[in-house]
Amino acid sequence: MKLFGYLPETLFQPLAGPKKHVYARLLLRLYERIFAARVLETPTKDEVLRHIANALTEAGVSNSDDLQEEGIDGEPSPYAHYVAYNRLKNTGWLVEEQEKWEVLVDMYPDAFMVIGAVADFANSRVRVAGAVVEVKSNLDYAAREPETMAQGLANACDTAVRFARSMRRILVGMRDIEDRILGNPNAASILRTFFRDFVDGLLIADYKQLKTSNNPYRYRRQISALAAELLHDTSWRGKLARAYIDQGVVPAGTPLSDAEERVVTELEKIRQVFDDVGPFMDRIEDFRDRLERRVRTTVHYMDVMGEGSAERLARIIEKLAASGTGEVELRMRAPDTGFPISEKALYTPPPPRSAPEKTRFRRPGRDPYLKAYVAATTAFDRMVRVTPAKMVSFIETKLGERSGLHSSDIAIDSIEELLAFRSLPAFVDNAAQAEIGAYRIVLEADRTENDWINLQSFRIERLESGAA
């Protein structure tokens, strides 16, 4: 039957037959070298056949007889790469498309996603710091700009869930590796399995860096606190829920209440993951100490139970006595006597760190320069804001007792006067003239230029007492 109703029924036939290892390596090579490496370019059939031929040569397949399987009726061919190509095409992995005179080959979309997930298993170690940084940056963007960066919360939730699954896989895998290591009767195999499977294969890739003071892992508490704070911010949740609908994060037509419920669910997941990651890391640390101690003790006692130095010396003395010579020359690998071995030379794991002391959070004190800053910005805003009263005061100062004044005859002595002078023709707007207080401003066709500004010329006239 189809796997979950998505994949063709014949897709896994090459991976379940006697040549499954050949086809598995072949599919991974095609995915990494062709289909995943070149996103916007579809390879030709000849190029795919060339890669298949190279892969089969590396796998030790020399002719088509090496790929024959019972019960499989494929197109007969003397060439192994044609047999493998037809096998993958007939089972649904490869899809041909005719474009003009060329035959293009692509991978079935759902099969492409499956082989991509399988390829990710090769790099299965978890980078804790990288996951923490990704969640923190996405959550910060969503907190600062909920209207435009709503996708950041969804991305942060997805990363947190993948991170939690990977950490869970580590915990489950550690128990299996412990049984496999300690069940081996050979000391060399125990050490080899320990370093290959546990240290290199399963242990967190950046585990040592997690113990440094400037590692991004220290942001996990900030992430949990920010998620809890946003969870109780109803205004922010409403903005993000509307953005979820507008940006297509949720299906079209989703009610606002359902979108907000998804926001709450994702915030809860992020908070729960990073609340639990601390005790989880402690469990990994305890397991690592216990496993290292058990491996060290097992190897030590297996070596003691074998032939020791006393047995080796007795055998040497017996051989020397049987030689019948009075003097024997012995070659020493080291000219000097080594250091004595005692219990102090044994490795001792570092003691667990003590929990940090609880301290009460103190609110930061008020900035002593804040009051002066607010006063300065208020004064600047008051200076640059031009009001009708300021323009009337400017006109009265420059006009004096005269009945009229041209803009070219007005002298500017300060920034405040420049702002009022510049606002007079803008006050008229699109009309030819306008009245402000007891004065009329009439625009002219030419322009006025001084040391401060170049603008449209105008004339100020005093209104008659009756018109005022």
Q: Could you give the number of structural domains in the chain?
A: 3
In the chain, what percentage of residues exceed pLDDT 90? 0
Sign of CA dihedral 355, 359, 363, 364: negative
Q: Are residues 87 and 169 in the same domain?
A: no
Last residue in a domain, options 264, 285, 317: 317
Classify residue 365: in a domain, yes or no. no
Tokens describing residue 64: 């088509």
Q: Which segments of the chain have a pLDDT < 70?
A: 1-6, 39-40, 70-77, 121-129, 182, 184-188, 191-217, 299-310, 330-347, 430, 465-468
Query: Residue 354 gets which letter from DSSP?
Result: P
Q: Is residue 322 part of a domain?
A: no
Q: So what's the pLDDT on residue 346?
A: 63
Give CA–CA dist 145/158, Å, rounded: 19
Q: Establish if 351 belongs to a structural domain.
A: no
pLDDT at 135: 87
Q: Check whether residue 41 and residue 90 sit in a common domain.
A: yes
Query: Which residues lie closer than 8 Å to 94 by C-beta, 6 or more apart?
Result: 48, 85, 88, 105, 106, 107, 108
The DSSP-derived string for 18-83 is TTHHHHHHHHHHHIIIIITT-SS-PPBHHHHHHHHHHHHHHTT--SGGGG--TT------S-HHHH
- Please tell me whether residues 167 and 230 are part of one structural domain: yes
Tell me the C-alpha to C-alpha distance, in Å, between residue 41 and each of 38, 44, 100, 116, 315: 6, 9, 16, 18, 71
Q: Are residues 229 and 252 in the same domain?
A: yes
Residue 186 resides in a domain: yes
**Residues 253, 135: one domain?**
yes
User: Are 33 and 58 within 8 A, CB to CB?
Assistant: no
SS3 content of the chain, % helix, strand, coil (to 5): 60, 10, 35
Could you list the residue range(s) of the whole structural domain that residue 207 is in? 124-317
Q: How far from chain centre, in Å, is Cα 229?
A: 22
CB 215 within 8 A of CB 129: yes
What pLDDT sits at residue 309?
A: 64
DSSP 8-state class, residue 145:
-
pLDDT, one tens digit per residue, over 333-355 is: 555 555 555 666 666 777 888 88
List the alpha helices (DSSP H) in 343-406.
Answer: 370-384, 388-399
Residues in the chain: 468
Domain for residue 410, yes or no? yes
Residue 87: how many other CB atoms lie within 10 Å: 22
Question: pLDDT by residue (tens digit) across 365-403?
Answer: 788 888 888 889 888 888 888 888 888 888 888 888 888
Do residues 204 and 250 share a domain? yes
**Helices vs strands, H then E, count in the chain:** 14, 6
305 and 403 housed in the same domain? no
276 shares a domain with 128: yes
The pLDDT assigned to 396 comes to 85
C-alpha distances in angstroms, 366 versus 46, 170, 363, 371, 420? 73, 47, 9, 9, 37
Q: What is the distance between the alpha carbons of residues 6 and 108, in angstroms, rounded to a whole number?
A: 11
Model pLDDT, residue 1:
43
* pLDDT at site 468: 41
Q: At 348, list the tokens.
A: 């001792």
103-to-39, 48, 226, 365 alpha-carbon distances in Å: 18, 11, 54, 72
- 294 and 398 housed in the same domain: no
Q: Are 149 and 71 within one domain? A: no
Cα–Cα distance measured from residue 10 to residue 111, given in angstroms and rounded to the nearest whole number: 11
Last residue of one domain, picked from the residues 302, 317, 332: 317
116 and 201 in a common domain: no
